[in-house]
Amino acid sequence: MKSYNNFGNIYSENKKTVQKGIDYYHKIIDLALEKNMDDELLVPTLNIAWTYIDNKDYDNAWIYLSKGLELSSETKNEQHLSQLNFLAGRYYMAKNDLVKAKDYFEKSAALVEDEGLILIGGDVYSEYSTLLFKGGQFEEAYIALLKSKEYNDKIFQKEKLEQIQLASAKFGLGEYQKDLEVAKKEQLYKDGLIEKSQERMYIMIIASIILIVIIILVYRINLSRRTLIQELSLKNEELIAAKEEAERLTVLKTKFFSTISHELRTPLYGVIGLTSILMDDKSLSKHEEDLKSLKFSADYLLALINDVLQMNKMESNLLDLEPMPFNLNELMRSIVKSFEFTRLQNKNTIHLELCQEANSNLIGDKVRLSQILMNLVGNAMKFTERGDIWIKTKLIESSEKTAKIYFEIRDNGSGISKHNQELIFEEFSQLQSANYNYQGTGLGLPIVKKLLVLFNSEINLVSKEGEGSTFSFEIEFENGKLSKEDFIQNIQDHELSLESIMSSGEKRILVVDDNRINQVVTKRILEQQQFVVDICDNGVDAIERVRNNHFELVLMDVNMPGISGLEATKRIREFNKDIPIIALTAMEIDEIREEIYESGVNDIIVKPYDTARFYQVIFKNLPSSILN
């Protein structure tokens, strides 16, 4: 163990081999634990902490320092205790906790004085002097510095004595006496020179005067420094107060966005839902274009709300990627299909070039990827009329586990000038579009830029005014485990399961919502798939309905007067743990996701929702007994 400790001491002194030294100390710890030698744990633990502190890695140092403090209760070695308190003092001084640092330095100094620990005494008083100076105790700092010098001189004298003793042992007493005589003659010669040289005396007097002047200047500088420190402390207090106020306002802003999103999404749910139902009504076919325009406007308003909320999340660092399996080509086709109305309105042609070489089943955050592509394609639509838009994906790197895909969205629209190519990535910045039917918030491209950072990527832009623009980026995805054929088979199996659900007879669902319009929309959407729907508008009634009736599933609104949807779910779970309960909410799901699932909810649907997504969640949570 001593050999490992020596190697650790040697390597830890060299910055290039610090980690190697720490590894040797860890070997000592491992051996001590293996052989149950607890008394051998303290020294390597202190050495690791000492190494990290010397290299200013205070967080790692504290891990071992705290272990050392725990182990110190089992040792009576005063030198180790002095070293431990010395290291703790250095740690807290680095963390600017001068009170704790002083306490530990004083404990270490007391042990040095009581036990005559010469070797560490100089270092203890030197660091203690630095601490006192930082705290403005200049006289005490000077006294501590003198103590440090006193111990260093003792070390020097001790080392010199050891060297003389070694020389005496090696060459004999006679040689030592000769050396001593020579040293005495040299000292007499030097003394004679000092006495005869008045010039040296004058130099010392002048140097003393200069030193006094310097001390006076340093004292005055320290007075000024103390004044500046006091002013800085006041400024720091003001900054802390400003920071706390900013944090309070941030919390208020988050609450505001959460509330306003709920209040805007709730009526939008009614508008989008009723519009979708009316569009499916064949008797209203002559109003189809008007209904499409109405739904497009509502969808646009929803996208606007989502953009503002998305930007708020990203600014608050509340957004993370959620990887899931998805089919890239199917995703690209669905995105193109979603712009069909806008394409026809602007008389554009979309050219879709899909990557066929990549694994059909990739793993990544398809929701964030869809947001990026929807914003870029929507931007191309906005600035192109009677033109062409090219959407391209290409496999550029591939391995067994990953695939890097290149995405490109190109148009031959109005293009972007050099001056505006940086401006468009700033929040709320908009370029003038010739298409006055499609106005935006100026958040689309800033959102794209920030979302790509989450994917460890960046947006590239090539554009010339009057000729069009090309936006491109690259994202690395994981390859899913399913082959292309398996993925297609799973989709077919899923479709078969949905058909079996639809033909399984009466399916009763309880809808709990206090908003009458939402009740109507949800009921009509469910009745289109032959569900039998019961309605209630409060949590108390919902609990009694579930207790006294049989339902395949419950759709529970989260925010209701009286008993909330989450409280009603908790009470239902007390007597029925099996019935699927799906939460309906217009709030920001990230803020309440954990609370929702803790109440006993099986899944979540955010209003207003896509009808296909709504059915998908419903079918996924229906009991398997219906399939049988």
Q: What are phi and psi for residue 555, nearest 5 degrees? A: -100, 115
Residue 581 has pLDDT above 90, yes or no: yes
Q: What is the pLDDT of residue 257?
A: 65
Q: What is the DSSP string of 456-525?
A: T---EEEEETTTEEEEEEEEEEEEPSS-HHHHHHHHHHHHHHHHHHHTS--EEEEEE-S-HHHHHHHHHH
Architecture of domain 487-627: 3-Layer(aba) Sandwich (3.40)
Across the chain, mean pLDDT equals 79
What is the pLDDT at residue 583?
A: 92
- When the candidates are 2.60.40.1170, 2.60.40.10, 1.25.40.10, 1.10.3720.10, the CATH number that belongs to 2-185 is 1.25.40.10
Whether pLDDT at 448 is above 60: yes
Q: What is the C-alpha separation between 96 and 137, in angstroms, rounded?
A: 15
DSSP output for 142-165: HHHHHHHHHHHHHHHHHHHHHHHH
DSSP state of 535: E
Give me the phi and psi of 560, to 5 degrees please. -140, 150
Taking residues 436-441, report their average pLDDT: 48
Indicate the range of 133-147, 278-292, 301-315 predicted with least confidence. 301-315
Q: Average of pLDDT values for 412-436?
A: 69
* Backbone angle region of 457, left / alpha / beta, with phi > 0 → left and psi within -120 to 50 → alpha: beta
517 vs 190: CA distance, rounded Å: 107
Percent of the chain at pLDDT above 90? 18
How does residue 383 score in pLDDT terms, banded at 50, 70 and 90?
confident
Residue with token string 């929701």: 367
* pLDDT exceeds cutoff 60 at 161: no
**Does position 268 have pLDDT exceeding 80, yes or no?**
no
- What is the predicted pLDDT for the residue at 407? 95
Do residues 410 and 390 lie in contact, with contact meaning Cβ atoms separated by under 8 Å? yes
Of the pLDDT bands very low, low, confident and very high (cuts 50, 70, 90), residue 430 is: low
Higher-pLDDT residue of 49 and 495 is 49
Residue 282 has pLDDT above 50, yes or no: yes
Q: Who's near 280: CB < 8 A, 6+ residues apart?
A: 528
Classify domain 320-481 at the CATH topology level: Heat Shock Protein 90 (3.30.565)
The domain spans of the chain are 2-185, 320-481, 487-627
- Evaluate if residue 185 carries a pLDDT over 90: no
What was the pLDDT predicted at 91? 87
**Alpha carbon distance 216, 196 (integer Å):** 32
Position 215 scores a pLDDT of 93
Q: Is the pLDDT of residue 594 over 60?
A: yes
pLDDT of residue 495: 46
Tens digits of per-residue pLDDT, 455-506?
999 999 999 888 899 999 999 999 887 555 554 555 454 444 444 444 555 6
56-101 tens-digit pLDDT: 888 888 888 888 887 777 777 888 888 888 888 888 888 888 888 8
Least confident stretch, 223-237, 401-415, 437-451, 554-568: 437-451
Determine the pLDDT at residue 497: 45
Q: What percent of the chain has pLDDT over 70?
A: 79
Residue 449 near residue 398, CB atoms below 8 Å: no
> Per DSSP, what are the bridge partners of residue 243?
none
Question: Which stretch of 163-172, 196-205, 235-244, 502-511 has the lowest confidence by average pLDDT?
Answer: 163-172
* pLDDT band per the 50, 70, 90 thresholds, residue 438: very low
Q: Is the pLDDT of residue 406 over 90?
A: yes
Residue 216 confidence (pLDDT)? 93
> Would you say residue 198 has pLDDT above 70?
no
pLDDT at 199 over 80: no
Higher pLDDT pick, 567 / 528: 567
